[in-house]
Every structure is written in C-alpha cells, then in structure tokens.
C-alpha cells in the first residue's frame, strides 16, 4: 500500500496566509458595512473580488496548463480561511474557486480549453451554481427544472432558488432533469449538468431576482422560460449530472468549512482581546472566559477535521464521511465562537461598527449551508454507524 | 496568539493504523475479561476492587513496559502506543484507569528519578513483577492536613494525608508530592517497607470502581535516596507527566466513546418498536450520530496532542483540548446509547449503566474536567482570572 496521506498541524501555506492577510488590510470593516447599506444592485464587493482575482487567488485550483495555480484544495482552503480570519468575506466569490471542478473533471477537452484559461484570468466569472429549487431543497434528485432535448440543443423551463452571485457571474453550472423521473431506473439518473452563458440566457428568457436576506450573500432566484442552451453547453454525458455534482461537493465542503474556521479565528481574536482588556477593570469574567476556552477547543479540533478531509480529497482518497464531519464540526465550532464573542462584547456587540454582529449573522449560515446539518447526521447515521436510512 | 508556526513541520496521517499489533494483543487480553468480570468486581468490598487478574495479564504481555527504555527491559515505544492501549482497553468495555498513574510515574521516574531508582524500578515494571505505582498528589481537602516533610539527620519524615489516591493498597511503590521548605517536592516511597511504619490506607466505595483510597502518613521516615529531583522541583517535573495523564485520560474517554458508539448503533439496529428498528427514527439516530462526530473530533485533537508530545514539543494545551472534548464527547455518546437502550440501560447485564457511570465519574475524578478549560484559558488565551 502506498504511503498514507497526512496533514500539517501547524500554519501550513504561510506564504498565502501572509499575502492574503496583507491584501485584506485594504478592505476593513467599514468597507463591508457600507456594502450592506447598498441596495442589492450595489452590494457586491466588486473591488475586493477584483483584488483577489488580480492576485490569482481564485485560480489556484485550476491546473497550470489552463492558466491556474495548480494547487491542491488545501491551498484554496488556507486562502479562504485567511480571508475570513482577516474580517473579510469570500462568500461573494469562493465559487469561482471550486465550481470549475465539475468542468475540469467532466468537461470535454474543447470546453476546458475554451473556458478554464478565461476563468483562471478572471475574464469569465463562474460564480453561480444552480442546484436548489423551491420545492426540492436537499432532495436534489427531485428537482423539477427540465431541459428538453431539441435539435442542436435543449430548452430549459423551471425555477432555482438560493443561487448566490448569479447577477455577478458570466457562467453558471446548471443542474436540470433531461429525462423525466418516471422514465429512469434510479432517481439520480436523467439529470444533466450544463454550463450556461448567463449573458445569452438573460436575453433568452432567464430572469434573475435578488433575494433580500439577513446576510450580504448576493443570492437570487432564477426563472427559466424556454431558455435555449446549445448542445455544446452540456458537460459530460447526458443523464449523469447528479454524480458529477456529488464529486465536487466534497471539495466545496472542505473549502467552505475553512471559511468557518477563519471566521472562528476572527471571533476568538476579538473575544480574547476584548475580554483581556476588561480583566483589569475588576469584573469577574470567569464564566465568559470558560465559554471562550470551550469554543476555542471546538474550533481547534474542527480545524483538524477540515485539514484531514482536504488531505484525503487531495490524495484522491474517498472522503465523504470526513468532509461531512468536517463541515458539521466547523459549523458548530464557528457558531460556538460567534456566540462566545457576541456574549463577551455584551451590548457593545450589537453595535455595527464593532463588526461582531455582522460576522455573527454571516456565521449562522455555516450551520445551514451548503448542506443541512441534519443531512450530515443522516449521512453519519447511515454510512458511518450503519443505521437504517431515516428519511 | 493562535498560531502554531513552530509546529508546522509536524503532520498527522489521515488514518491511524499505528500499533496494530499491540492493539490486537490488548484486544485478545480484554476478551478474557468480559463484562461479568467487571460487574463481579463491583459486588466485592471496596478493598477488593482492584482488577488483579486483568492488570496481571497486561503485565505478562509486557504492556506495562511500553514506555520503559529498551536498556531497562522495556519496549521504549512512543506515548502514541500507550494512548492506543488505553483507547483499546476502554473500547473493549474494560477499565484501565488504574494504569494511568502507572504510566505517568514510569515517565516521571525515567525523566527525573536517580540512576539507582531507575535501575531498580523500571526493569521490574517492564517485566511486570507486580510493581504497581501509585501517586499521592498534594491535595488540600477540608478536614485533612496536606502531606509535608521535615528534614532529619538521614533524610526526611513524611506526615499528613492525601485524598482519593488510586490503588495504594496494591502498589509496591508510591510517588508522594509533599510540601517542604523550598517548595513542593517528590519522594518515592517503598510501600512494602512503609506499611508498618506510619502509613494508613482507608479504601473508599464510590459511584464506580475507582480503587481510590484516602491515605495518611504519620511521621514515616524516608531516606535521602527517596527524593525525586531537587527540593521544590515537583511543579516542573509534574508539568510534563501531567500532560501525559491528560492524554491517557482522553484516550480512555475516546475508547469509552467507541464502546458506546458501537453498542448504541447495534441496539438501535436490533430493537424493533412500532414496526421499525428504532435506529430508523431520527430521535434515536441523530443523538448517536452527533455524539459519534464529537468523539471523532476529540480523537483528532488527541492525535495532535500525542504528536506534539512524542516530538518533545509543548503539548499541554493540545492535551487539555483533547481531554476536555473527549470527556464531553464520551458522556454525550454514553448518554445517547443509554437513551437508545431505554429501560434496558438500567439492567446491569447490558453493561450500559456501568460504563455510563464510569464516563460520568471520569469527568470529575481524579481531576475535574474544569482543569482543562483553565489550562486553555490561561496558557493559550492569556486570561488571568481563570488561574
């Protein structure tokens, strides 16, 4: 047997940690607060995303032959962690990093040559991932958006919801049913992935409607009314799309978990500094100090869980359980950190100019998205503990 | 503050499969000590709670010499091996708590004992010559007088008491922490020699089999050779053995978590109520799954602590994190398995209630879980109020 993959327990990729933190200094809390005050049309962190793109950070996972950095998922995770630890948010652009994975693994050579170099340079933004629908939620194989085969292409009808960054993306990966569910053996069959040219589709019956939400995640609803997609937009084989999407989910989980770890570190830095400053003033702070120490412990091991999952993914080892558990632990841990920090700040934490409440709102999402913690418990129950499927 | 730059060179394999042979040896031994053995121990008087045959079997297999240097007859393995041993014992449903002071003091004597002490003690430990070690820490309890020594012409005399010392009645030697002029110091006491000369043991019956006893020294005379390290050296010496203790307590808790994860899932699959296995109901499945994830997370924290310890780095914070989370995770796993078993959890023959009590007790004794949050808060986060 070949050597067992391993992961660092220290500050790996120190060069990224340093340079990304430096870049983030130009985007302080006030930058993010002002974005939140804008209407949806102006709330996208354009300058921040431009800075990350110019520095090549969003292209690190694309192979060098297509103009990217050719780095493993763990490198991307460190970049995203550092962005969040620095008080910034990669929510507006992280999909540029991993959505291309489906194209990379399952696209034709022609598609890869056409799109990947432009995605790597930032000329084309692939930020949108159209999976979830109003009536299907986590039950992806029940999605209702139809792509019907016609001569030379497909006609798409249906609706997607919680599609982040769609208004700020040139391309979208779209999951749609190409064979009706009654005509397939397995529910997971008959679903296909398309790479949609958003600018063309917008002129052709696709409508994007922003959703006003608790967090500035530029999320939208998308309506498809007889939208024409040329045959060349199909990724891989027709009907195999669900499997293609699953492949990418573990990478996505490793990456967004790293963002949660970064947010957790941000909260710990702030909570510890704030509480230590208060220690000298005679208040008894032992209760909140224990709470902070407990959150710190949870964060530290969640970080290790995420590192392990990424190391397995990068080594090509099956990591469904590890990526799911890393996601679960990082979500729980960042929330423990967020709660500890908000509590440590007291009333001060409600003030927007402390940035705690904004980050606290952002962090709640780590326990819901992109996968429900209940679905993770279902996975662990069924596939790790060997219990019957419960849903 | 939160960086680990100095440890960037250390790595953990994604899967732990070290010491598979030791694991197998320990499992085979544990198989000879089924639940009934442990239940029967509980039915005896507290003075007969010591798992003599179990410890004897481990000693015979050389397990007690795991961290004794090869030159002194041991196998000289890293602490990672001991962590695996403790985890395996507890995962099998046995209880290795009495071994923790044994390993802790093996490390202590090896690191700080005199050459003569090492040459006398460590080979006996390695060959399993029934040389158990017991550890009396300096405790300040209500209605007791902490152990202290005063100098005499040939050495010191030891007086005072210590509460809840593990297995003093079955130990041949004991390390005693006592106060003296110049600070807290450590002494090696030959118990066979001491029993008739001012040393008294009062075994305790507790919630679980802990083998704890209160002990008292009444002017016990010790020679100068019995001193471990210099006067006042106890805090520095104990700093490292204390980390080992936390690692091993965390390992035992992880083993307990594995035991309950397996037993909980097994029963949830077998037991049919309302027409389905109860594991198909999320009210049963989710608490088991959630606690299982917590055990896995604590385990990876433990592996970090072990990696740091074996590399000779400061592992105090990592060990505290591991122990804190492992004790909590084991308890959540135990309680989820308890609920899964319903009324049968109370029946002694299912062995759930005994282990469940064991896990609860481990969060309190011999050292409270609270200690770990203090270490994290003070040493890592710089909070002065938690000291």
Residues A363, A247 share a domain: yes
Q: Would residue A92 count as lying in a domain?
A: yes
Structure tokens at A201: 């589709």
Q: Does A5 touch chain B (CB under 8 A)?
A: yes
Using 50, 70 and 90 to split pLDDT, how confident is the model at A333? Answer: very high
- Do B357 and B207 form a contact (C-beta atoms < 8 A)? yes
State the pLDDT at residue B1: 43
The arithmetic mean of pLDDT across residues B272-286, rounded, is 97
Higher-pLDDT residue of B150, B264: B264
DSSP A80-136: HHHHHHTT---TTTTHHHHTHHHHHHHS-HHHHHHHHHHHHHTSS-EEEEE---TTT
State the pLDDT at residue B143: 67
DSSP structural state of residue A353: G
Q: Would residue A182 count as lying in a domain?
A: yes
The A residues from 296 to 355 touching B (CB cutoff 8 Å) are 296-298, 300-302, 304-305, 308, 311-312, 315, 317, 322, 325, 328-329
> How far is the C-alpha of B306 from the C-alpha of B313, rounded, in Å?
10
Using 50, 70 and 90 to split pLDDT, how confident is the model at B2? Answer: very low
The arithmetic mean of pLDDT across residues B241-265, rounded, is 97
Q: How many alpha carbons fall within 13 Å on the CB side of residue A246? A: 14
Structure tokens at A383: 């596939």
State the pLDDT at residue B140: 67
Q: How confident is the model over B115-171, as pLDDT tens digits?
A: 999 999 999 999 887 567 788 887 766 667 888 888 888 889 999 988 888 888 888
Q: What domains are there in chain B, each with its CATH number?
A: 5-132 (1.10.540.10), 134-228 (2.40.110.10), 234-380 (1.20.140.10)
Residues A247, A139 share a domain: no
State the pLDDT at residue B188: 93
Q: How confident is the model over A256-287, as pLDDT tens digits?
A: 999 999 999 999 999 999 999 999 887 889 99
Which of A24-28, B193-197, B321-325 is least confident? B193-197
Give the percent of chain A with pLDDT over 90: 91
Residues A271, A380 share a domain: yes
The arithmetic mean of pLDDT across residues A304-319, rounded, is 96
Q: If we measure between CA atoms, which residue out of A97, A358, A385 comes closest to residue B340? A: A385
- Test the B interface: residue of A2, A253, A264, A301 with most B CBs within 10 Å: A301
Taking CB atoms and an 8 Å limit, are A329 and B297 in contact across chains? yes
Task: Give, in order, the Cα–Cα distances in Å from B12 to each of A312, A314, A359, B7, B300.
Answer: 12, 15, 31, 12, 9
Give the percent of chain B with pLDDT over 70: 97
Q: Is A288 helix (H, G, I), strand (E, B) or coil?
A: helix
Q: Would residue A3 count as lying in a domain?
A: no
- Is the peptide bond prior to A27 cis by the omega test (within 30 degrees of 0)? no
The residue out of A71, A94, A121 marking a domain boundary is A121
**Mean pLDDT across chain A:** 95
Residues A187, A96 share a domain: no
B-chain residue closest to A324, CA distance: B293
Closest Cβ opposite residue A9 in set B10, B265, B372: B10
Q: How confident is the model over B336-352, as pLDDT tens digits?
A: 999 999 999 999 999 99
Higher-pLDDT residue of A176, B161: A176
Q: If we measure between CA atoms, which residue out of A254, A373, A248, A246 comes closest to residue A307? A: A254
The arithmetic mean of pLDDT across residues A19-37, rounded, is 96
Q: How confident is the model over A338-355, as pLDDT tens digits?
A: 999 999 999 999 999 999
Does the pLDDT value for residue A97 go beyond 90? yes
Q: Would residue A81 count as lying in a domain?
A: yes
Residues A379, A273 share a domain: yes
Using 50, 70 and 90 to split pLDDT, how confident is the model at B4? Answer: low
State the pLDDT at residue A1: 45
Higher-pLDDT residue of A28, B166: A28
The B residues from 302 to 341 touching A (CB cutoff 8 Å) are 303-304, 307-308, 318, 320-322, 324-325
Residues A323, A309 share a domain: yes
Residue A223: which domain range? Answer: 126-239
Using 50, 70 and 90 to split pLDDT, how confident is the model at A170? Answer: very high
Q: How confident is the model over A153-167, as pLDDT tens digits?
A: 999 999 999 999 999
State the pLDDT at residue B134: 81
Number of domains in chain A: 3
- CATH code, domain carrying A29: 1.10.540.10
Residues A200, A151 share a domain: yes
Residues A108, A19 share a domain: yes
A-chain residue closest to B7, CA distance: A10
State the pLDDT at residue B387: 77
Cβ-based contacts under 8 A for chains A and B: 184
> How far is the C-alpha of A42 from the C-alpha of A323, rounded, in Å?
34
Our CA-based measurement puts residue B105 at a distance from the nearest CA of chain A, in whole angstroms, of: 28
Chain B residues within an 8 Å CB radius of A305: 296-297, 300
Our CA-based measurement puts residue B265 at a distance from the nearest CA of chain A, in whole angstroms, of: 6
Does the pLDDT value for residue A243 go beyond 50? yes
The residue out of A60, A94, A121 marking a domain boundary is A121
Using 50, 70 and 90 to split pLDDT, how confident is the model at B3? Answer: very low
pTM of the predicted structure, to 2 decimals: 0.94
- Kindly report the backbone phi and psi dihedral angles of residue B16, in degrees, each rounded to the nearest multiple of 5, phi listed first: -95, 115
Residues A271, A195 share a domain: no
Does the pLDDT value for residue B284 go beyond 50? yes
Residues A348, A249 share a domain: yes
Using 50, 70 and 90 to split pLDDT, how confident is the model at A2? Answer: low
Does the pLDDT value for residue B8 go beyond 80? no
Residues A371, A257 share a domain: yes
Q: If we measure between CA atoms, which residue out of B328, B332, B336 comes closest to residue B370? A: B328
Closest Cβ opposite residue A380 in set B14, B292, B377: B292
Our CA-based measurement puts residue B260 at a distance from the nearest CA of chain A, in whole angstroms, of: 11
Q: H-type helices in B153-233, by residue range?
A: 191-194
Q: Would residue A114 count as lying in a domain?
A: yes
- How large is the angle between the packed helices A320-345 and A241-279, nearest 10 degrees? 30
Q: How many alpha carbons fall within 13 Å on the CB side of residue A234? A: 23
State the pLDDT at residue A281: 85
């Amino acid at each position: 047997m070949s050597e067992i993959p391993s992961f660092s327990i220290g500050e790996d990729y120190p060069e990224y940690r340093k340079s990304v933190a430096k870049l983030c200094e130009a985007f302080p809390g006030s930058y993010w607060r002002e974005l939140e005050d804008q209407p949806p049309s102006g709330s996208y962190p354009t300058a921040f995303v431009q800075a990350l793109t110019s520095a090549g950070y969003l292209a690190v996972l694309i192979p060098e032959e297509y103009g990217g950095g050719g780095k493993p998922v763990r490198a991307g995770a460190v970049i995203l962690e550092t962005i969040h630890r620095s008080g910034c948010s990669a929510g507006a652009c992280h999909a540029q990093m991993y959505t291309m994975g489906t194209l990379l693994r399952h696209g034709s050579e022609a598609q890869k040559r056409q799109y990947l170099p432009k995605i790597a340079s930032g000329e084309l933004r692939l930020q949108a991932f159209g999976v979830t629908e109003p009536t299907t939620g986590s039950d992806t194989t029940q999605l209702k958006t139809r792509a019907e085969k016609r001569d030379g292409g497909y006609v798409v009808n249906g609706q997607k919801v919680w599609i982040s960054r769609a208004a700020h993306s040139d391309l979208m990966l779209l999951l749609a049913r190409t064979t009706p569910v009654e005509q397939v053996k397995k529910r997971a069959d008959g679903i296909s992935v398309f790479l949609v040219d958003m600018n063309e589709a917008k002129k052709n019956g696709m409508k994007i409607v922003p959703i006003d939400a608790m967090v500035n995640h530029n999320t939208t609803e998308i309506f498809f009314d007889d939208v024409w997609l040329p045959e060349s937009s199909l990724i891989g084989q027709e009907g195999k799309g669900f499997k293609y999407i699953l492949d990418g989910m573990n990478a996505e989980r490793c990456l967004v978990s790293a963002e949660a770890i970064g947010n957790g570190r941000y909260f710990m830095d702030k909570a510890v500094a704030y509480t230590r400053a208060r220690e000298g003033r005679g208040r008894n702070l032992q209760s909140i100090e224990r709470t902070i120490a407990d959150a710190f412990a949870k964060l530290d091991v969640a970080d290790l869980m995420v590192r392990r999952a990424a190391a397995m993914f990068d080594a090509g080892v099956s990591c469904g359980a590890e990526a799911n558990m890393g996601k679960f632990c990082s979500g729980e841990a960042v929330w423990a950190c967020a709660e500890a920090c908000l509590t440590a700040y007291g009333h001060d934490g409600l003030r927007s100019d402390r940035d705690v409440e904004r980050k606290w709102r952002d962090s709640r999402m780590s326990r819901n998205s992109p996968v429900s913690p209940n679905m993770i418990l279902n996975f662990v129950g069924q596939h790790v503990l060997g219990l019957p499927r419960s849903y | 503050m939160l960086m680990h730059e100095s440890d960037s060179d250390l790595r953990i394999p994604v899967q732990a499969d070290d010491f598979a042979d030791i694991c197998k040896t320990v499992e085979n031994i544990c198989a000879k000590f089924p639940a009934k053995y442990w239940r029967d121990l509980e039915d005896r008087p507290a003075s007969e709670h010591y798992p003599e045959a179990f410890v004897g079997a481990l000693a015979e297999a050389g397990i007690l010499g795991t961290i004794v240097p090869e030159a002194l007859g041991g196998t000289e393995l890293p602490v990672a091996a001991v962590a695996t041993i403790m985890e395996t014992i507890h995962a099998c449903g046995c209880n290795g708590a009495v071994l923790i002071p044994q390993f802790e003091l093996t490390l202590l004597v090896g690191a700080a004992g005199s050459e003569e002490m090492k040459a006398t003690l460590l080979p006996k430990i390695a060959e399993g010559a029934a040389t158990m070690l017991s550890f009396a820490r300096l405790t300040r309890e209500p209605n007791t007088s902490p152990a202290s020594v005063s100098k005499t012409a040939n050495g010191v005399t030891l007086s005072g008491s210590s509460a809840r010392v593990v297995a003093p009645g079955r130990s041949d030697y004991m390390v005693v922490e006592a106060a003296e002029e110049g600070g807290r110091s450590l002494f090696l006491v030959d118990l066979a020699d001491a029993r008739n000369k001012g040393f008294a043991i009062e075994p305790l019956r507790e919630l679980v089999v802990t083998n704890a006893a209160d002990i008292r020294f009444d002017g016990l005379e010790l020679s100068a050779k019995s001193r471990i390290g210099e006067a006042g050296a106890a805090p520095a010496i104990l700093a490292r053995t204390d980390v080992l203790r936390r690692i091993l307590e965390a390992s035992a808790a992880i083993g307990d978590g594995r035991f309950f994860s397996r037993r909980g899932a097994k029963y949830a699959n077998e037991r049919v109520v309302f027409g389905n296995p109860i594991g198909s109901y999320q009210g049963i499945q989710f608490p088991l799954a959630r606690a299982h994830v917590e055990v896995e997370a604590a385990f990876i924290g433990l592996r970090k602590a072990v990696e740091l310890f074996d590399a000779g780095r400061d592992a105090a914070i990592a060990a505290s994190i591991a122990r804190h989370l492992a004790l909590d995770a084991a308890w959540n796993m135990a309680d989820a398995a308890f609920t899964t078993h319903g009324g049968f959890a109370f029946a002694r023959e299912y062995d759930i209630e005994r282990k469940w009590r064991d896990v609860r007790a481990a969060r309190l004794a011999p050292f409270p879980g609270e200690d770990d949050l203090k270490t994290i808060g003070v040493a890592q986060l710089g909070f002065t109020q938690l000291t």
